[in-house]
Every structure is written in C-alpha cells, then in structure tokens.
Amino acid sequence: MAFLLSSGADSVGLLLNILLVFGAAKLLAEVAEILGQPGVVGELLAGVLIGPSVLGWVAPNELLNVFSELGVMFLLFQVGMGLKDFKLTQVGWDAVLIAVSGVIVPFIMGRQIMLMLGHPGVEAAFVGAAMVATSVGITAKVLADMGLLSVRSSKLILAAAIIDDVLGLLVLAVVSSTAKGPLNYLDLGLTAVLAIGFTLVVAIFGTRAFEKIVPRFDSATKTAKSQFILSMLLLFGLSILASRAGVAAIIGAFLAGMALASSVSHETKSETAGVTELLVPFFLVGIGMRMDLTVFRDPGTLTMCGLILAAAILSKLIGCGIGAWRLGYRGALRVGTGMVPRGEVGMVVAQIGAGMGVIPNDVFAVVVFMSIATTMIAPVMLKMAYRGAVAE
Amino acid sequence: MAFLLSSGADSVGLLLNILLVFGAAKLLAEVAEILGQPGVVGELLAGVLIGPSVLGWVAPNELLNVFSELGVMFLLFQVGMGLKDFKLTQVGWDAVLIAVSGVIVPFIMGRQIMLMLGHPGVEAAFVGAAMVATSVGITAKVLADMGLLSVRSSKLILAAAIIDDVLGLLVLAVVSSTAKGPLNYLDLGLTAVLAIGFTLVVAIFGTRAFEKIVPRFDSATKTAKSQFILSMLLLFGLSILASRAGVAAIIGAFLAGMALASSVSHETKSETAGVTELLVPFFLVGIGMRMDLTVFRDPGTLTMCGLILAAAILSKLIGCGIGAWRLGYRGALRVGTGMVPRGEVGMVVAQIGAGMGVIPNDVFAVVVFMSIATTMIAPVMLKMAYRGAVAE
C-alpha cells in the first residue's frame, strides 16, 4: 500500500504528462513509419501538435526539461555503445575538414543575411553562431533506426559533429565575449585546450581501459547487474566531466558509450536501451513543443525565416559537402545532410543571446524556428540521401 | 553539439545529484552484500548517510521525489512481470485473512499505546492507521534478489499486501473523515467498491487479454521495440487508473506487470529491468534520507519511539502470523516478517494527519522513524526467516 502516488493530485498529473508525451510520440512515430517517413519526424510533430502552438495539452515544464536532457544523453550514450569498432582517431583529418568548413560557411552565410536585412553586427554574429551548431542526436537516431551507423559516411558525421561541438563552443565564446567587451585570448585558449584534451584522452584510451576494467569489476562485485551499474556511473561521471571541461555533457555521454561498446554484455545493452527508449521521446517532443507558429504572421519576419532556413540547410550541405568531397557526390551529400539538424543547440545559442539582451524577440523566434525546422527536414532528407545504402 | 547541458550550472547540479544518489546507494549495497546483509539495507543506509541527518550532501527535492515515485512504480511493475504463473485469485482467502488480521492488530496496538501515553483519540487513531500500512516494494525486492518470489509464502505476501492496500485506504478514509466530522458511509462504500472492483477486474482478465493483445500489437506495428512501448503505455495507464479508482498507483503498476508477465519477450523484460535498476535507488535513498535522528534527544519521545517501533514489528508478526497459521510456524513467520516494512506509506499517513493539524511534531517524527526503522529491519529479518528456503 502506498498513498504516495494516490493522494497527491500532482503525482497523477505527472503520470498523465508522461503518458501523454510518450503515447503521442509513439503514435505519430508509427504514423510516420506507415507513410514511409522516419519515426523521428513523427515524434517531433507530436511535440508541435500537443504543445502550446496547436492543441496546448502540454507546455514545457521543468520535469519535461529534465527528462529531455537525460533523453538526449542516453541517446548519444546508446549511439556510442552501438559503435563497436569505431575509432575516433581513424576518421581523423577528414572529420576535422568537414567540421571546419561546416562551421565557417554557415557562420558567414547567416551573418551576411542578417547584415543584408539591416540588423546590427552583434545580432548578426549571434545568428551566425546559432547556425554553426549541429544536433547530432537526431541524425544518429535516424541512422541507427536504419541500421546504417557503421557506414563510413555515418562515422564521419559522428566524428565531425563532435569536433563541431568544440568549434561551435569556441565560436559562441568569441561571439558572446565580443558582445560584452574586448576578447580574452588566454581564457579562450584554455577552454580550447581543455575541451580538445578531454575528448582526445577519453576517445583514445577509453575503450582499451574498459576492456580491462569491465571483466574485473564483474568478478570483484557481489551486487547483481554490476555491468549496468558501472555503465551508469561512467555515463553520469563522464557527462559531468565533459561539462566541466567545457564540452557538452552529451559528448561525455557519447564517449562513455564508445568506451563500453566492446566490453559490456548484450544484456547490459538491452537494459540501457530500455532507459533510452523511455526517455528519447521527451527529447524529441520537447523540441517540437517549442515551435512557435505565430512567427508566420508578420511578413517581414516570415521573409527572414525563409532566408535563414534556406541558408541553414544550404550552408551545411555546401560547407560539409566541400569537406567531404573525397567521398564522391553521394557521400558528400550524405555527410552534408547529416549535419543539417540544429535541434536544441541552435535554440540554446539564441537563448544566450536573448539573455544578454542583444537578440530581439523576432530574431529569437526565427532562430528557434530554424533550429526546429532543420531538425524536422533533415530526417526526411537523410532517408533520401541514404537510399540504397547497405550496412558495411 | 549541445550547450543545453553544458551551459546551465543547474544541469550539472542535476547530474551530480543523480550520480551521488545512485553511486552511494550501489556502493553501500555492495558493502551490505559483503557483510551478508540484503543490498536494500545498504541503499536505505546510503540515504541516511548522505541525507540531512548525517552528511547533508543531498536534501529531499522535487526531482528526487519524482524519481523516487517512478522508482517504486517500476519496482512493483518488475515484480509483477516476474510472476509468470501467479494468479491473485488462487491465493484468495488465505491472503484476505492475512490482510484483515494484519490490519486489525496493528491498528488496535498502535492506538492503545498512544492512548496509554495520554495522547488524544484522533492522534492515536492516526498513529494506528499509519501502522496498518505495508510497503510491499521492499519485501518484494529482497525476495526477488534472493530468487524466492515464486515460493508460496512470497506469493501470499504479495497478494495480502495488495488487499492490505485497499483496507489501509479505507482505514485512512475513516480516520481522516472522523477527524473532520461525521462519517459519510456512501462515499466510503463507493471508494471500497471502486478500489476492489478495479483490482479484481485487472487481476482476473489482464493476463488473458494481453496474451492475445501482445502478439497482435507486435505484428501490426512498424515501430521498433513495440512490446516495450506497449508495456510502458500499460504501466502508466494502469497506474493512473488505479489512482483514480482510489488504490495506489503502484498497485496499478504491479497489476500491469502481472498482466504482461507471460506475454512479453525476455528482451522486453531486460529493457524494463534497466529502467527499474536505474530508478529504484532513488526510492530507497529517498526513504533513508527522511530519517530524523534528532528524535532521540528527548527522553519522552524516545520512549514513545521504542514502544511504537516494537509494536509495529510485533503487531504485524502476530496479526499476519495468525492469518497465515495454516502455513505452519515457519511459513507464518515469513509472511509476518514480509509485512513488517511500512516504508513511504506510513510516512504519507503521518503527513496527511500533520496536514490536517491533528498530529503534533513529535508524534510525526516518531511515525516517520517507525516507518523507516521497520523498513530497515525487515530485510535483515526476512533473510533470517527465509534461511533454507528453496525456489519451488
């Protein structure tokens, strides 16, 4: 007997919220699949549908935010776990090239459009910075659902997205520093070294270390499910360390998954997959929920919206495509498409700008729209770009 | 790239909280196992240790509460899923007998002690009501860890605890109604009928229905992991319905697990087990965290504490033991011991009383202490009572 959940109306409200978000996401994912579209698109649309913009059944709240953050962490963790023979250092220079040109082109295009439209320089720089971001979670989920994570272009996308994270961080640091005053080069250099150092150390030594640690931990402990426990400790530990080192927590989660990929059992992977499966809809619905359709009412904003969205898609296709020219036309197209979604990342850059008071409301709405629209278009484009691809 | 988790200090704080609670729970569970004690005791003690009473590293907060509520729900869900050939109606009358005498004896003993100590009638009735509660999650986890859930006495404990839930609900309804004014018999009758009806309908028809639904759902859907999705929808759906019907949400969760026990795949069970494994420590640590050791400072309160704790243990051993006399001495002892933990349930009854202004601070502290102490003692007693037991 427990009155804990039966007495408080709050508790029932909480459960209803969870059921509604999870149920709507999975229902629309099913509809999307029936129509030949990626399930991810359905889950994003579920967020638009039940969110404040259309039905208003659920609004963003703190609990959904927490579930959403944990959801994208587990998503990247699971993606990392699925990469058994992936070495970040092997795809090396190609990935660096893709990331660098995929940062420069979108930043310049976004900034120029805003300047052309007559917006001040700081504002234009922030929009450019928001267009640099790549939300690798969406692409990873689509490719994982298609069973194509082990294809060379998929591995390149993942590696480039990680480097992109570090570069994007530096771009944001520069943009927000110049908005405040003169640039502190020492701070900037320190951030870069720490972020790159952390990523490289874990990527290079992680897998080898855990191939030794996991069997020993297993035989030394008396508690059941010790591999699962170790996995969770590593996941949360590395996510925290990544945040502290200046990279995103999800990069830590991805590296944790990669480090464990070749050492934990199938059972443990199923157990973590359950958590992932439960939480990911909150991440996707959470993005869709933030879509603000009223942006379309003002013709000026609508124009800005169209230009920025087109530039967001084209700039990544061109920028990353140039970086990936060695893969041939189709390979370059795949890599470019995979880097299109901006997801929650573009929104956060906009949020920082708005918080500093340098981004007005309409520009904020446009950046959020761009972030979500690229996220919803990319899976459809990816499915076309990867048509005919076979797991290697 | 995602700044979502790297920018906000709140997000890192959240991850640290999760890592600390989960890590401390699993570390002390390991220590407990090494000392030959149930892991559950270690996880409860971890809560006492890192909570406000000793180290003060974590305090109860809303997020931990949510995780804790979901944790006990998944725990009961998993327990239900583990019962493949369990029919609630088969253990029928024995369980009813155990539940009824296990409700009457603790209520009378608790109430009498408080009256003897000179407390007013309403206060005494609330303490009695708090002693009626059984927190079946703890017992279920200990028995599941020992692999003894399928033993007859274990099944009786589970069935009796469910009936106990309905009875306890009615006792609380009566006690809090009389504290407010004259009793409304119609309301009370309606609550009883709804609660009993819901439980019986799901228990009797659930398993058979899902043996037909699961394979059809599996073949009709295109989305991956459809069994897991169905399980989650049923879990949250029945938990909400149970709350609405007047029983606790965890009873709905348990019934959902039972309904799916014989129809979902091993893979699906592993996936849900992952979620359970991640969340249950929050439930156990959450209970330990609420232990208030300052209760011992006042000699009068200390006496009350000792008397109530002794009565809480003895009354369930005697009450449930009488109901289970047909199982012989050892069987009756096992059943009685299994019903000892009051867990979060006793605390919630005390909270309702305090909220109504009829329970003073010292009595509140004593009831909370009794709830936690019984929960920590029961696993140790259970391990002794079940010594030599073999899975049937």
Which pLDDT does position A89 carry in this prediction?
Answer: 67
Q: Please indicate whether, in this complex, the C-beta atoms of A1 and B168 are within 8 angstroms of each other.
A: yes
Residue of chain B minimizing CA distance to A273: B271
Residue of chain B minimizing CA distance to A283: B4
Name the CA radius of gyration of chain A, rounded.
Answer: 21
The shortest CB-CB distance from A6 to any of B23, B225, B247 is to: B247
From the CA of A250, how many Å to the nearest CA of chain B?
A: 7
A367 found inside a domain: yes
A62 interaction partners in chain B (CB closer than 8 Å): 62
A222 interaction partners in chain B (CB closer than 8 Å): 30, 33-34
B29 found inside a domain: no
A46 found inside a domain: no
The residues, ordered by sequence, that sit 6+ positions from A292 with a Cβ below 8 Å of its Cβ are A53, A365, A368, A369
Q: Please indicate whether, in this complex, the C-beta atoms of B248 and A2 are within 8 angstroms of each other.
A: yes
Q: Please indicate whether, in this complex, the C-beta atoms of A273 and B271 are within 8 angstroms of each other.
A: yes
From the CA of B324, how many Å to the nearest CA of chain A?
A: 19
| Spatial contact of B391 and B370, defined as CB atoms under 8 Å apart | no
Which pLDDT does position A312 carry in this prediction?
Answer: 94
Rounded to an integer, what is the distance from CA A228 to the centroid of its chain? 24
Tens digit of each residue's pLDDT (9 = 90 or more) over A156-204: 888 888 788 778 777 877 787 777 777 677 777 777 787 778 877 887 7
Q: Please indicate whether, in this complex, the C-beta atoms of B2 and A145 are within 8 angstroms of each other.
A: no
Distance CA B279, CA B66 (A): 10
Which pLDDT does position B2 carry in this prediction?
Answer: 33
Q: Please indicate whether, in this complex, the C-beta atoms of B274 and A228 are within 8 angstroms of each other.
A: yes
Could you tell me the CA-to-CA distances from A338 to A28, A157, A332, A374 in Å, in that order? 22, 6, 10, 11
A3 interaction partners in chain B (CB closer than 8 Å): 133, 169, 172, 248, 345, 348-349, 352
Q: What is the mean pLDDT of chain A?
A: 84
The shortest CB-CB distance from B3 to any of A15, A236, A349 is to: A349
Q: What one-letter code names the amino acid at A60?
A: P
| Spatial contact of B331 and B324, defined as CB atoms under 8 Å apart | yes
State whether residue B248 sits within 8 Å of chain A by CB. Answer: yes
Q: Please indicate whether, in this complex, the C-beta atoms of B4 and A63 are within 8 angstroms of each other.
A: no
Angle between the N-to-C axes of helices A266-289 and A62-81, in degrees from 0 to 180, rounded to the nearest 10? 140
Residue A256: pLDDT above 70?
yes
State whether residue A61 sits within 8 Å of chain B by CB. Answer: no
The shortest CB-CB distance from B223 to any of A14, A33, A248 is to: A33
Which pLDDT does position B170 carry in this prediction?
Answer: 76
A164 found inside a domain: yes
B residues 258-317 lying closer than 8 A (beta carbon) to A: 267, 270-275, 277-278
In this predicted structure, which of A222-226, A296-300, B257-261, B292-296 has the lowest mean pLDDT?
B292-296
From the CA of B391, how many Å to the nearest CA of chain A?
A: 18
Which pLDDT does position A238 carry in this prediction?
Answer: 92
Hey, CA dihedral for A291, A293, A298, A304, is it positive or negative?
A: positive
Kindly report the backbone phi and psi dihedral angles of residue A87, in degrees, each rounded to the nearest multiple of 5, phi listed first: -120, 120
A57 found inside a domain: no
B residues 115-144 lying closer than 8 A (beta carbon) to A: 132-137
| Spatial contact of A18 and B236, defined as CB atoms under 8 Å apart | yes
All residue ranges of chain B with pLDDT < 70 are 1-9, 84-91, 183, 390-392
Could you tell me the CA-to-CA distances from B239 to A120, A297, B234 in Å, in that order? 54, 42, 8
State the SS3 of A89-151. CCCHHHHHHHHHHHHHHHHHHHHHHHHHCCCCHHHHHHHHHHHHCCCHHHHHHHHHHCCCCCC
Q: What one-letter code names the amino acid at B294?
A: T
Q: What one-letter code names the amino acid at A295?
A: V
Q: Report residue B264 as tokens.
A: 């979902």
B199 interaction partners in chain A (CB closer than 8 Å): none
Range of the domain at A168: 71-264+292-385
Tens digit of each residue's pLDDT (9 = 90 or more) over A55-81: 989 888 888 889 988 998 898 898 888
Which pLDDT does position A391 carry in this prediction?
Answer: 64
From the CA of A299, how many Å to the nearest CA of chain B?
A: 31
B286 found inside a domain: no
Distance CA B146, CA A276 (A): 28
B63 interaction partners in chain A (CB closer than 8 Å): 63, 66
Which pLDDT does position A72 carry in this prediction?
Answer: 85
Residue A229: pLDDT above 90?
yes
Q: Please indicate whether, in this complex, the C-beta atoms of B69 and A34 are within 8 angstroms of each other.
A: no
**ipTM beyond cut 0.90:** no
More confident residue, A133 or B114: B114
Give the pLDDT band (50/70/90) at residue A7.
Answer: very low
B22 interaction partners in chain A (CB closer than 8 Å): 232-233, 236
From the CA of B12, how many Å to the nearest CA of chain A?
A: 6
Distance CA A278, CA A261 (A): 21
Angle between the N-to-C axes of helices A9-34 and A39-50, in degrees from 0 to 180, rounded to the nearest 10? 140
State the SS3 of chain A. CCCHHHHCHHHHHHHHHHHHHHHHHHHHHHHHHHCCCCHHHHHHHHHHHHCCCCCCCCCCCHHHHHHHHHHHHHHHHHHHHCCCCCCCCCCHHHHHHHHHHHHHHHHHHHHHHHHHCCCCHHHHHHHHHHHHCCCHHHHHHHHHHCCCCCCHHHHHHHHHHHHHHHHHHHHHHHHHHHHHCCCCHHHHHHHHHHHHHHHHHHHHHHHHHHHHHHHHHHHHCCCCCHHHHHHHHHHHHHHHHHHHHCCCHHHHHHHHHHHHCCCCCHHHHHHHHHHHHHHHHHHHHHHHHCCCHHHHHCHHHHHHHHHHHHHHHHHHHHHHHHHCHHHHHHHHHHHHHHCCCCHHHHHHHHHHHHHCCCCCHHHHHHHHHHHHHHHHHHHHHHHHHCCCCCCC
A22 found inside a domain: no
A272 interaction partners in chain B (CB closer than 8 Å): 274
Which pLDDT does position A2 carry in this prediction?
Answer: 33
Vertex A137 angle, CA A133 and A139, to 5°: 90
The shortest CB-CB distance from B1 to any of A134, A237, A239 is to: A134
Measured from the Cβ of residue A185, the count of other Cβ atoms closer than 10 Å reads 10
B residues 62-91 lying closer than 8 A (beta carbon) to A: 62-63, 66, 69, 72-73
Distance CA A234, CA A252 (A): 9
From the CA of B299, how many Å to the nearest CA of chain A?
A: 31
Distance CA B364, CA B246 (A): 24
A217 interaction partners in chain B (CB closer than 8 Å): none
More confident residue, A236 or B181: A236
In this predicted structure, which of A224-238, A287-301, B120-134, B250-264 has the lowest mean pLDDT?
A287-301
What total of structural domains would you count in chain A? 1
B143 found inside a domain: yes
A273 interaction partners in chain B (CB closer than 8 Å): 225, 271, 274
Residue of chain B minimizing CA distance to A34: B222
| Spatial contact of A283 and A79, defined as CB atoms under 8 Å apart | no
Residue A377: pLDDT above 80?
yes
From the CA of A119, how many Å to the nearest CA of chain B?
A: 25
A275 interaction partners in chain B (CB closer than 8 Å): 274-275, 278
| Spatial contact of B89 and B163, defined as CB atoms under 8 Å apart | no
Q: Please indicate whether, in this complex, the C-beta atoms of A229 and B63 are within 8 angstroms of each other.
A: no
Q: Please indicate whether, in this complex, the C-beta atoms of B3 and A242 are within 8 angstroms of each other.
A: no
B residues 343-382 lying closer than 8 A (beta carbon) to A: 343-345, 348-349, 352
Assign residue B254 the CATH number of its domain. Answer: 1.20.1530.20
B residues 7-46 lying closer than 8 A (beta carbon) to A: 7, 11-12, 14-16, 18-19, 22-23, 26, 29-30, 33-34, 39
A342 interaction partners in chain B (CB closer than 8 Å): none
Q: Please indicate whether, in this complex, the C-beta atoms of A161 and B5 are within 8 angstroms of each other.
A: no
A102 interaction partners in chain B (CB closer than 8 Å): none
